[in-house]
């Protein structure tokens, strides 16, 4: 077996924990294509990040057990599962499920809150400058007697010079500076990323996985994505993977683009998906970016993988292979230290990731009546219970439930 392992990221399109109790084949739909992909590569060791899970901790623990059971039944091997609450508001909160086999993986929230707060403070300062600049050109006294309105280029609707008076009794009072800011959401509304350390052949491989807010939010406030990459660089992370909902390049010198330089998008075109087809659009919401530092690993990122997504998600799966670069031994040759014992199992989900105990080989005890959903077969060569809070629902702005943004025209040809 080569000294390598696979890394995967899969946005499962707002899967609620409760959905697993009404669809007994949902865990199989996740596990089957992952196992098939590994078998095609002759690989058993892997870590996969499953994102956009919502639900109460106990419900998500049941989800983890179902995934473990499906994997055990298909491969005969035990699967390690960690469930991490990444925070966010009542609508934006999500948990990430990390599954792995043959590796020692320990995860925790990345911790971007302080950086996001700093970027919000900088946005307030910039908003004040824009506000003062605008007022220097349009005196407030003249605007108060306006008859019509215009939209400022930063999205602020203001009154302009004109004859007559204006009845302001029905106008909602808004901090004028806020109208010149790109973001007015508090830092607590933004989800965190996930930081993992993978112990492999005596080396530690560091990964960050994240699911950024919707494309509209990241366009107006790219600071939330920048904060993730800045924190990853500070921690000397080797690989960043996930759904960043960003058009164009991501501002970072510490990580190099891979998928962003290809002609393939990472989500299915909404129109084709409704017709039962799987055709990738052009938007590269998902990214896989290795560090620009010299590290003892080679990272090969595959083209987006569409197999198994039908009826499950609007995102292709992102896969990469990480191979240890072996150097000629010097004399005397020192054997790498043996891996330590796996982390103790736990059935409790907390803010920090907690591994779940491996299930027995018996049938899934959580089977419930429901409608079956079969995952589509096929493969791709490796080389190539939450209720929306109206006040925070806009944080997911622009991320259409059907996959690609419906307003984007150029979607011809993975939350």
Cis peptide before 31 (omega within 30 of 0): no
Buried b (16+ CB within 10 A) or exposed e, 281-300: bbbbbbbbbbbeeebebebe
Residue 403's pLDDT band, with cuts at 50, 70 and 90, is: very low
Taking the whole predicted model, whether its pTM rises above 0.75 is answered as no
Which of 155, 180, 205 is the C-terminal boundary of a domain? 180
Buried b (16+ CB within 10 A) or exposed e, 398-411: bbeeebbbeebeeb
Same domain, 221 and 170: no
| pLDDT tops 50 at residue 174 | yes
Residue 160's pLDDT band, with cuts at 50, 70 and 90, is: very low
Overall domain count for the chain: 2
Q: Is residue 410 part of a domain?
A: no
156/153 Cα distance (integer angstroms): 7
What's the Cα-to-Cα distance from 322 to each of 5, 14, 71, 300, 319, rounded to whole Å?
5, 28, 22, 7, 10
| Residue 221: both structure tokens together | 């406030």
pLDDT at residue 180, rounded to an integer = 78
323/199 Cα distance (integer angstroms): 13
Same domain, 131 and 24: no
Same domain, 33 and 163: no
345/53 Cα distance (integer angstroms): 21
Residue 219, number of CB atoms within 10 A of its CB:
15
Chain-centre distance for alpha carbon 29:
20
Q: Is residue 414 part of a domain?
A: no
> Half-sphere exposure of residue 129, counting CA atoms within 13 Å on the CB side?
7
Question: In percent, how much of the chain has pLDDT > 70?
Answer: 66
Q: Is 262 exposed, middle or buried (0-12, 13-18, 19+ CB in 10 A)?
A: middle
Same domain, 360 and 251: yes
Comparing CA positions, the residue from 189, 187, 177, 210 lying closest to residue 118 is 187
Residue 230's pLDDT band, with cuts at 50, 70 and 90, is: very high
| Residue 276: both structure tokens together | 């039962």
| Residue 241: both structure tokens together | 């993977």
Across the range 192-213, mean pLDDT stands at: 97
Q: Residue 291 forms beta bridges with which residues? A: 255
Comparing CA positions, the residue from 353, 351, 321 lying closest to residue 241 is 321
- Among 16-30, 167-181, 343-357, name the most confident range: 16-30
Least confident of 224-233, 330-339, 349-358, 366-375: 366-375
Same domain, 122 and 97: no
| CB of 118 closer than 8 Å to CB of 190 | no
Q: Is residue 349 part of a domain?
A: yes
| Residue 32: both structure tokens together | 């089957």
Residue 189's pLDDT band, with cuts at 50, 70 and 90, is: very high
Looking at residue 176, what DSSP letter applies?
Answer: T
pLDDT in tens, 278-337: 888 889 999 999 999 999 999 999 999 998 887 788 899 999 999 999 876 555 444 554
Same domain, 106 and 121: no
Same domain, 168 and 195: no
Same domain, 215 and 128: no
Same domain, 26 and 167: no
| pLDDT tops 50 at residue 406 | no
- Cα dihedral across residues 214, 216, 217, 218: positive or negative: positive
| pLDDT tops 60 at residue 238 | yes
Higher-pLDDT residue of 125 and 387 is 125
| CB of 79 closer than 8 Å to CB of 89 | no
Comparing CA positions, the residue from 264, 253, 111, 125 lying closest to residue 190 is 111
Q: Are strands 203-211 and 239-243 parallel, antiparallel or unpaired?
A: parallel
Same domain, 200 and 290: yes
Least confident of 210-214, 233-237, 274-278: 274-278
Element (H, E) at 71: helix 57-75
> Half-sphere exposure of residue 344, counting CA atoms within 13 Å on the CB side?
2
Q: Is residue 408 part of a domain?
A: no
What CATH number is associated with residue 352? 3.60.10.10
Least confident of 245-254, 355-364, 404-413: 404-413
Looking at residue 122, what DSSP letter applies?
Answer: H
- Among 65-79, 324-338, 379-393, name the most confident range: 65-79
Comparing CA positions, the residue from 194, 208, 187, 214 lying closest to residue 415 is 214
Across the range 85-100, mean pLDDT stands at: 94
pLDDT in tens, 122-151: 888 888 887 777 767 665 555 433 334 444
266/229 Cα distance (integer angstroms): 20
| pLDDT tops 80 at residue 105 | yes
> What is the rounded radius of gyration, in angstroms, for the C-alpha atoms of the chain?
24
Same domain, 218 and 81: yes
Q: Is residue 59 part of a domain?
A: yes
Q: Is residue 172 part of a domain?
A: yes
pLDDT at residue 353, rounded to an integer = 54
Same domain, 176 and 211: no
Q: Which domain holds residue 346?
A: 4-110+190-396
Q: Is residue 413 part of a domain?
A: no
| Residue 390: both structure tokens together | 């109206």
Q: Is residue 200 part of a domain?
A: yes
Residue 31's pLDDT band, with cuts at 50, 70 and 90, is: very high
């Amino acid at each position: 077996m080569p000294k390598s392992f696979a890394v995967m990221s899969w946005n499962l399109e707002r899967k609620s924990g409760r959905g697993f109790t009404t669809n007994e084949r949902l865990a199989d739909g996740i596990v089957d294509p992952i196992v098939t992909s590994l078998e095609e590569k002759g690989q058993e060791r892997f870590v996969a990040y499953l994102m956009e899970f919502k639900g109460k901790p106990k419900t998500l623990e049941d989800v983890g057990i179902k995934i473990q059971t499906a994997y055990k039944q298909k491969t005969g091997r035990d699967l390690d599962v960690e469930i991490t609450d990444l925070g966010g508001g009542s609508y934006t909160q999500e948990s990430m499920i990390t599954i792995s086999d043959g590796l020692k993986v320990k995860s925790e929230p990345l911790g971007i809150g302080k950086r996001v707060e700093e970027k919000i403070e900088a946005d307030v300062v910039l908003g004040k400058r824009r506000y003062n600049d605008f007022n220097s050109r349009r005196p407030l006294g003249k605007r108060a007697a306006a008859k019509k309105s215009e939209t400022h280029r930063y999205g602020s609707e203001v009154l302009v010079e004109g004859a007559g008076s204006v009845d302001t009794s029905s106008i909602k009072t808004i901090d004028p500076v806020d109208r010149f800011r790109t973001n007015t959401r508090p830092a607590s509304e933004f989800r965190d990323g996930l930081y993992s350390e993978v112990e492999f052949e005596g080396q530690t491989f560091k990964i960050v996985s994240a699911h950024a807010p919707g494309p509209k939010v990241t366009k107006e406030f790219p600071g939330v994505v920048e904060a993730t990459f800045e924190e990853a660089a500070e921690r000397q992370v080797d690989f960043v993977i996930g759904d960043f909902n960003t058009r164009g390049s991501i501002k970072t010198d510490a990580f190099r683009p891979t998928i962003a330089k290809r002609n393939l998008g990472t989500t299915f075109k909404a129109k084709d998906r409704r017709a039962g087809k799987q055709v990738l659009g052009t938007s590269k919401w998902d990214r896989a970016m290795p560090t620009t530092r010299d590290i003892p690993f080679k990272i090969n990122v595959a083209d987006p993988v569409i197999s198994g997504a039908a009826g499950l998600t609007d995102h292709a799966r992102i896969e990469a292979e990480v191979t240890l670069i072996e150097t000629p031994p010097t004399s005397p040759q020192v054997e790498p230290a043996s891996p330590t014992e796996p982390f103790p199992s736990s059935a409790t989900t907390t803010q920090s990731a907690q591994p779940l105990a491996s299930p027995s080989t018996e049938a899934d005890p959580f089977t419930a009546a429901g409608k079956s959903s079969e995952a589509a077969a096929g493969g791709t060569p490796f080389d190539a219970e939450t209720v929306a809070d109206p006040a925070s629902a806009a944080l997911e702005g622009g991320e259409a439930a059907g996959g690609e943004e419906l307003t984007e025209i150029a979607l011809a040809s993975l939350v």
